[in-house]
Structure 1
Amino acid sequence: MAKSTSLLLLLSLLFFTTTAMAAATTKRSADTTFIKTSCKSTTYPALCVQSLSTYASTIQKSPRQLALTALSVSLTRAQSTKSYVTKLKKFKNLKHREVEAIADCLEEMGDTVDRLSKSVQELKHMGQAKGQDFLWHMSNVETWVSAALTDENTCVDGFAGKALNGKIKDSIKAQVVNVAQVTSNALALINKFAATH
C-alpha cells in the first residue's frame, strides 16, 4: 500500500513538473517570437535577436522593456569597448597618429557611455508618462541615442586612411562597429516604442 501511494505521488509530481516545464517553454517561445518580430524593423535583425533573446523572460511582450533592454545591452557593450580602448592606449610602440586616434576614440566612447546611461535612466524613470510628457522623455532618449551613434561613427572615422592600417585599427573598429550596430538597433526599437503612443 505504501509503495503504491509513493508511486502515485511520484507520478503526480512528475506530471506537474512536466506540465509546468512545457508551459514555461511555450511562454519563452512566445516571448522570443515577440523579439524576433520586433527586430525585423531594425537595421541588423540577426544581431538584434541574438543580443536580446537571452532576456526574453524579462522583456516578455513589452515594447518599453524591449527598448530598455536593447539600450542596456548597448550601454554594456559601450562600457566594455571604452575599457578595451583604454587598455590599447597603454600599448608601447604606437605610431603618433594611432595615439591621437585612440585618444579621440576614447573621448567619443566616453560620450557614448554618458549618453546611453542618461537614456537608460530617462526610459526607466518615465514611468507611465502620457501625452506631451511622454513625448518629451522620448525626445530626450532619441536625441541622446542618436548622438551616441554619431560618437561611435566618429571614433571609427578617426582611423580612416592607410597610414593607420593594422591590428590596432582592426581591433578597435571591430569593437566599435559592434557597439554602433546594437545602438542602431536600440534606436530603431525606441522609435518603434515611441510611435505606439
Structure 2
Amino acid sequence: MAQPILSFSLLLCILYFAGTTASAAVGKSSTSLGYIKTSCSSTRYPSVCLQSLSVYANKIQRNPQQLAQAALTVSLNKARSTAAYVSKMTRVKGLKGRQYQAVRDCVDNMGDSVDRLSRSMKEISQTGRSTGQSDFSWHMSNVQTWVSAALTDENTCSDGFAGHGMDGNVKTAIRARVVNVAQVTSNALALINKYASRHRA
C-alpha cells in the first residue's frame, strides 16, 4: 500500500506546483497587460495601441524600452506589408494621370517610412547599452527624428489620395491601410517619447 500512497502524494505535489506556476504566469500576464493599457492611454489611438501590443505582453512585462521596441516592431511590420501592397497597386489596370502618380508617390513615401523605421529599430536597441546620459540621448534623438519622419511619410501618402477624381476602390483600399500604419506609428512615437523623457528625468 505504501507505493500507491507515495504516488498519490507525488501527484498532489505536481498538481499543486503546476497550479501555482500557472497562477503566477496568469498574474504576470495580467500585470503586463495592465501596464500596456495604462501606457497606451497616453497615445492618440489607445484602443489600436492596446490591441496591437497585447500579443507582446510577456516580452514587454513592465519594461518601457521593451514597450517602445514592440511598438516600433508593430509599426515596421505594418509599414512593410503596406509598402508591398501599394507597390502591387501600381499594376492595377486603368490607373492614369493623377491616380497613377498618387500611387507611385505613395510607393516612394512608404519605402522611405520602412527605411526610417528599420533604422529606428536598430538605434533603439542601442539605448540599453548606452554608456551614459549623453549617449542615451543621442540614440533616442535619432529614433525620435526618424519615427517622426516616417509618420510624415505615411501622412503624405494618405494626403495624396484626398479630393475628387481618384478611383474609389484604389483610394479606399490604400488609404485604409496607410491610415492604420500612421496610427500605430503615431502610438509608437508617443511611447518612444515617454520612454525618452522618463529616462532623462
TM-score of Structure 1 vs Structure 2, range by shorter chain: over 0.9
> Aligned partner of 1:103: which letter?
R
Paired residues, what number?
197
Where does residue 161 of structure 2 map in the other structure? 159
Unaligned runs of 5+ in 2: none
Distance (Å, rounded) in 2 between the aligned partners of 1:45 and 1:67: 14
> Aligned partner of 1:193: which letter?
Y
Q: Deviations over 1:75-132 (max 9, x none)?
A: 0000000011111111222233221111000000000000000000000123332321
SS in 2 for 1:196: helix
SS in 1 for 2:143: helix
SS in 1 for 2:110: helix
2:103 pairs with 1:105? no
SS in 2 for 1:93: coil
2:122 pairs with 1:121? yes
TM-score, scaled relative to structure 2: 0.95
Where does residue 32 of structure 1 map in the other structure? 33
Where does residue 72 of structure 1 map in the other structure? 73
2:21 pairs with 1:20? yes
Where does residue 85 of structure 2 map in the other structure? 84
Distance (Å, rounded) in 2 between the aligned partners of 1:126 and 1:15: 41
Task: Quote the offset at 1:52 in angstroms.
Answer: 0.4
SS in 1 for 2:43: coil
> Aligned partner of 2:183: which letter?
Q
Where does residue 196 of structure 1 map in the other structure? 198
Distance (Å, rounded) in 2 between the aligned partners of 1:27 and 1:178: 30
- Which residue, out of 167, 170, 182, partners 1:168? 170
Distance (Å, rounded) in 1 between the aligned partners of 2:80 and 2:149: 16
> Aligned partner of 2:28: which letter?
K
Mean CA deviation greater in 60-69 or 92-101: 92-101
- Which residue, out of 128, 138, 141, partners 1:139? 141
Distance (Å, rounded) in 1 between the aligned partners of 2:127 and 2:117: 15
Mean CA deviation greater in 121-130 or 107-116: 121-130
State the identity as a percent: 57
Is the Cα–Cα contact under 8 Å of residues 99 and 167 in structure 2 kept in the other structure?
A: no
Distance (Å, rounded) in 1 between the aligned partners of 2:187 and 2:77: 14
Is the Cα–Cα contact under 8 Å of residues 44 and 187 in structure 2 kept in the other structure?
A: yes
For the aligned residues, what is the CA RMSD?
A: 1.1
SS in 1 for 2:125: helix
2:137 pairs with 1:150? no
TM-score, scaled relative to structure 1: 0.97
